[in-house]
Amino acid sequence: MRAVVQARYGGPEVLRMGDREAPIAGQGEVVVRVAAAGVDAGTVHLVEGRPALIRAIMPLRGGRVPGGDLAGTVHEVGAEVAGLQRGDEVYGVAEAPDGSLAEFARVRVSRIAAKPMGLSFAEAAAVPTSATAALRAVRDAGRTSAGDRVLVLGAGGGVGHFAVQIAKSLGGSVVAACSAGKAAIARASGADHVVDYRREDPLARGPFDVIIDTGGHRPVRAMRRALSHAGALVVVGSEPEGAPLGGITRSLGAAMADPFTRQRLVMLSSSEDAEALRDLAALVEAGELWPIIDREFALDESAEALRHLGHGAGAAKTVVRVA
Ligand SMILES: NC(=O)c1ccc[n+]([C@@H]2O[C@H](COP(=O)([O-])OP(=O)(O)OC[C@H]3O[C@@H](n4cnc5c(N)ncnc54)[C@H](OP(=O)(O)O)[C@@H]3O)[C@@H](O)[C@H]2O)c1
């Protein structure tokens, strides 16, 4: 099969187009013929091996196909798989080392669901990782409810634009912070107010019941000051240049301060599963979630797609067309 192959860690230049054996479905797995693959900040981390701990726990023996999110059709069904058959239209997250930037990818049944009705393959591939993180941040960790004042930092990005949509679907009133070039994405996601953080400090619009932090490296104490006395701060992540531990130090700072305050300070650790994918499909089908695709690239332009994402500079979603 045609695939993007990564033989060493580094920037997008380490990615090569190549021929690779198509994966075989193991027990509890299917092989998906990939129509489109979604990429995000996590894809960039795994290609770069950043933070460096990734390189230690995931050595690149034999090379691997990068990419997680995908949408396509079931091609082969492994043993002990019920409810899926060849030809089904699905979306989900591929299993390393047989990632989604290839014609075929291997997926565990616990990380796949029926493609949401009404979405193209490209739109469906934009959903799994970023929208799951937004769902877990806004609904589960943030416990957003009707009437809450919600601030989304990074509202023009992959997780951020979904966070705006999910907060609105739960009845929140949303202030969206993003750079001016991404205001249209935040508005199209349903934000009540859009703030260009380069001209105005969005935290000054507090107090908020929920703050969802997906970009900008604001200190935890500054965000806490903008939070109501029993509000929730959910640190999803950010991409500080040159920090050896990446964005995790702020997340840890929030988790460590949490036991000592009535505020809830959460370090998000999102993982994708079939249940979340089904919940997201239901939101799509109810008209409450709609992926916004900023750019599409061809499979042999995958390195360019990752350059386009940069380090925390994504605009809504970036998708790679495979078929
Ligand atoms: N904890 C988890 O389980 C989990 C899951 C998924 C993702 N993440 C992390 O969450 C972060 C966001 O991921 P993503 O895929 O959404 O990235 P993304 O698409 O690159 O979006 C990040 C957004 O933040 C914006 N931003 C940067 N500085 C800002 C500031 N000062 N104020 C407000 N917005 C600012 C960026 O654009 P502008 O500056 O132009 O507005 C960009 O739109 C990444 O660090 C990722 O690794 C964590």
Residues 134 and 259 in one domain: yes
Residue (of 237, 245, 251) closest to 312 by Cα position: 237
Q: Give me the residues paired with residue 195 across strands.
A: 177
Q: How far is the CA of 213 from the centre of ligand 1 (A)?
A: 8
Same domain, 6 and 117: yes
Query: Would you list the DSSP string of 124-161?
Result: HHTSHHHHHHHHIIIIIIS---TT-EEEEETTTSHHHH
| Ligand 1 and 42: CB distance under 6 A | yes
What per-residue confidence (pLDDT) applies to 137?
A: 98
Residue 301's Cβ-count burial label (10 Å; 0-12, 13-18, 19+) is middle
**Same domain, yes or no: 229 and 209:** yes
149 and 106 within one domain: no
For residue 123, the model assigns a pLDDT of 98
Q: Mean pLDDT across the chain, nearest whole number?
A: 96
> Do 136 and 26 share a structural domain?
no
Same domain, 6 and 116: yes
Does the pLDDT of residue 245 top 80, yes or no? no
User: For residue 20, how far is its CA from the centre of ligand 1 (angstroms)?
Assistant: 33
Residue 281 falls within a domain, yes or no? no
Ligand 1 centre and the CA of 77: distance in Å? 36
**Whether residues 142 and 213 fall in one domain:** yes
User: In the prediction, which pLDDT does 246 show?
Assistant: 72
Domain of 121, CATH number, reads: 3.90.180.10
Domain count, the chain: 2
Same domain, 197 and 312: no
Domain-located, residue 202: yes
Q: Are residues 207 and 162 in the same domain?
A: yes
311 falls within a domain: yes
The verdict on 107 and 216 lying in the same domain is: no
Query: Rounded to the nearest whole angstrom, what is the distance from the C-alpha of residue 51 to the centroid of ligand 1?
Result: 16
Task: Note whether residue 276 is domain-resident.
Answer: no
pTM score of the predicted model? 0.97
Pocket test for ligand 1, best of 189, 236, 251 (most atoms within 8 A of CB): 236
Q: Tens digits of per-residue pLDDT, 251-278?
A: 999 999 999 999 999 999 999 999 999 9
Q: Cβ(266)–Cβ(212) under 8 Å?
A: no
Same domain flag for 142 and 255: yes
Same domain, 141 and 256: yes
Asked if residue 38 is part of any domain, the answer here is yes
Q: How far is the CA of 214 from the centre of ligand 1 (A)?
A: 4
Cα–ligand 1 centroid distance for 157 (angstroms)? 6
> Measured from the CB, is residue 85 less than 6 Å from ligand 1?
no
Contact 4, 302 (CB under 8 A): yes
Residue 168: inside a domain, yes or no? yes
For ligand 1, whether the C-beta of 128 sits within 6 Å is no
For residue 62, pLDDT beyond 90: no
Q: How far is Cα 126 from Cα 138, in angstroms, rounded to an integer?
A: 18
Query: Averaged over 273-301, what is the pLDDT?
Result: 98
- Ligand 1 pocket check for 38: Cβ under 6 Å: no
Domain hosting residue 307, numbered range: 2-127+291-321
Indicate whether 186 pLDDT > 90: yes
Q: Is the CB of 202 under 6 A from ligand 1?
A: no
> What is the pLDDT, as a whole number, of residue 86?
98
pLDDT at position 161, please?
Answer: 98
> Separation of 19 CA from ligand 1 center, angstroms?
33
Does the C-beta of 314 come closer than 6 Å to ligand 1? yes
172 CB near ligand 1 (under 6 Å): no
Mean pLDDT of 270-294: 98
What's the pLDDT at 61?
85
Which CATH number do you get for residue 222? 3.40.50.720
The answer to whether residue 247 scores a pLDDT higher than 80 is: no
Among 267, 282, 305, the domain boundary falls at 267
